[in-house]
């Protein structure tokens, strides 16, 4: 059941670690050319690109802060110059800056909204410009282009102490759905992935000790913490024509975290 994306180019934002890095590697495994974005330290992005190239694929690293329009434009320009065009955008870059409500500064609020929501807007706009400029290539893909937004279970689950993050992901939900409505007639597919708890640097404290992991598993009916490959596999599927009729959807990759696990003992 291997999916192949021959002749297609993907840009993955925030791909120097965690879910983005794994997704970049899996897209490369599926034979897409991959632009591996990083914001600051290039080490993780270079590792991902090296793995793709060692596996026989093509990859470059592209520096850019997704919340800065000039940097976004330049990373898209570099990608298109290198590979000719772009077919797949994975809007993955995201971060947390947690604080109780009254301690949250305006800077904390803006920082998270700028990266997690505005960053997705800026990157999607550049991607759609390129999809439309290039036009259809039915021999390569059924659609004009694919945008995959990395959301979170917190697009629907409220999260005390993380209101900037939850607001950003709630925003991603209607950003994605509105964009899907607007771009469907242009044959551009737009979907989201909503991960639950995946083992990455963003949430190390939630799983790095056996006690923390046990507490976390209470929130996960399937009783295992997610792996980055769980998300990467779904991203490859959403990037491929196997999912050609999935449009404007959020796919939850969460071991059932969004199933109200507090009710699993039948009480309530
Ligand atoms: P991570 O911290 O490993 O990865 C986030 C990446 O985004 C990092 O590589 C970071 O450098 C990059 N980044 C941050 N700011 C950036 C900017 N301004 N421009 C470009 N890149 C930037 O964490 P992760 O868990 O892999 O997170 C990836 C995505 O998945 C995020 O959008 C996150 O909200 C989402 N997510 C993660 C989980 C989880 O359990 N790990 C759950 C739900 C959603």
Encode pLDDT of 200-231 as tens digits: 988 999 999 999 999 999 999 999 999 999 99
3-state secondary structure 155-168: HCCCCCCCHHHHHH
By most ligand atoms within 8 Å of CB, the mutation choice from 11, 13, 14, 76 for ligand 1 is 14
Between 268 and 236, residue with greater pLDDT: 236
Nearest to 116 by CA among 234, 14, 44: 14
The count of C-alpha atoms lying within 13 angstroms of the C-alpha of 64, restricted to the half-sphere facing its C-beta, is 28
The pLDDT value recorded for residue 267 is 84
Which tens digit of pLDDT belongs to each residue from 95-116? Answer: 999 999 999 999 999 999 999 9
Q: Is 115 in the pocket of ligand 1 (CB under 6 A)?
A: yes
Give the Cα separation of 162 and 134 in Å (integer): 40
Which tens digit of pLDDT belongs to each residue from 156-205? Answer: 999 999 999 999 999 999 999 999 999 999 999 999 999 999 999 889 99
Cβ neighbourhood burial of 28 (10 Å; 0-12, 13-18, 19+): buried
Q: Which residue in the list 4, 38, 165, 222 is annotated as catalytic?
A: 165
- For residues 42 and 16, the answer to whether their CB atoms sit within 8 Å is yes
Which tens digit of pLDDT belongs to each residue from 108-146? Answer: 999 999 999 999 999 999 999 999 999 999 999 999 999
Domain at 9-255, CATH homologous superfamily: NAD(P)-binding Rossmann-like Domain (3.40.50.720)
State the pLDDT confidence band at 2, using cuts at 50, 70 and 90: confident
> Taking 60 as the threshold, does the pLDDT of residue 44 lie above it?
yes
ipTM over 0.90: yes
Which residue owns the Cα nearest ligand 1 atom 21? 14
Q: Is 20 in the pocket of ligand 1 (CB under 6 A)?
A: yes
Mean confidence (pLDDT) of the chain: 97
Question: Considering the chain, what percentage of its residues have pLDDT values greater than 90?
Answer: 96
Joined tokens for residue 7 = 């002749």
Give the Cα separation of 262 and 268 in Å (integer): 8
Whose tokens are 């802060």? That residue is 65
- 33-38 and 9-12 as β-strands: parallel, antiparallel, unpaired? parallel
Which residue owns the Cα nearest ligand 1 atom 11? 14
> Taking 80 as the threshold, does the pLDDT of residue 1 lie above it?
no
Which residue owns the Cα nearest ligand 1 atom 31? 94
- For residues 66 and 35, the answer to whether their CB atoms sit within 8 Å is no
- What is residue 223's three-state secondary structure? coil
- For residues 79 and 9, the answer to whether their CB atoms sit within 8 Å is yes
| DSSP per-residue codes, 83-113 | HS---EEEE---------GGG--HHHHHHHH
The pLDDT value recorded for residue 202 is 87
């Amino acid at each position: 059941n291997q999916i192949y994306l021959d002749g297609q180019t993907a840009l993955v934002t925030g791909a120097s670690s965690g879910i983005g890095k794994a997704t970049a590697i899996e897209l490369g495994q599926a034979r897409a050319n991959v632009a591996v974005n990083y914001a600051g330290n290039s080490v993780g992005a270079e590792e991902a690109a090296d793995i793709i190239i060692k596996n026989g694929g093509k990859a470059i690293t592209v520096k850019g802060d997704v919340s800065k329009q000039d940097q976004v434009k330049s990373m898209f320009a570099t990608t298109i110059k290198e590979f000719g065009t772009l077919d797949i955008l994975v809007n993955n870059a995201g971060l947390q800056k947690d604080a109780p409500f009254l301690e949250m500064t305006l800077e904390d609020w803006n920082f998270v909204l700028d990266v997690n929501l505005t960053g997705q807007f800026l990157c999607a706009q550049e991607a759609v410009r390129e999809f439309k400029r290039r036009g259809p290539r039915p021999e390569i893909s059924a659609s004009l282009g694919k945008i995959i937004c990395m959301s979170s279970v917190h697009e629907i689950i409220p999260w005390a102490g993380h209101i900037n993050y939850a607001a950003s992901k709630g925003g991603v939900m209607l950003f994605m759905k509105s964009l899907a409505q607007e771009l469907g007639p242009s044959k551009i597919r737009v979907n989201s992935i909503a991960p639950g708890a995946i083992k990455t640097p963003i949430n190390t404290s939630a799983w790095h000790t056996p006690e923390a992991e046990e507490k976390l598993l209470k929130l996960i009916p399937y009783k295992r913490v997610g792996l980055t490959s769980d998300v990467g596999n779904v991203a490859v599927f959403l990037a491929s024509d196997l999912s050609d009729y999935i449009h404007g959807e959020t796919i939850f990759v969460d071991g059932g975290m969004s199933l109200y696990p507090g009710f699993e003992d039948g009480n309530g």
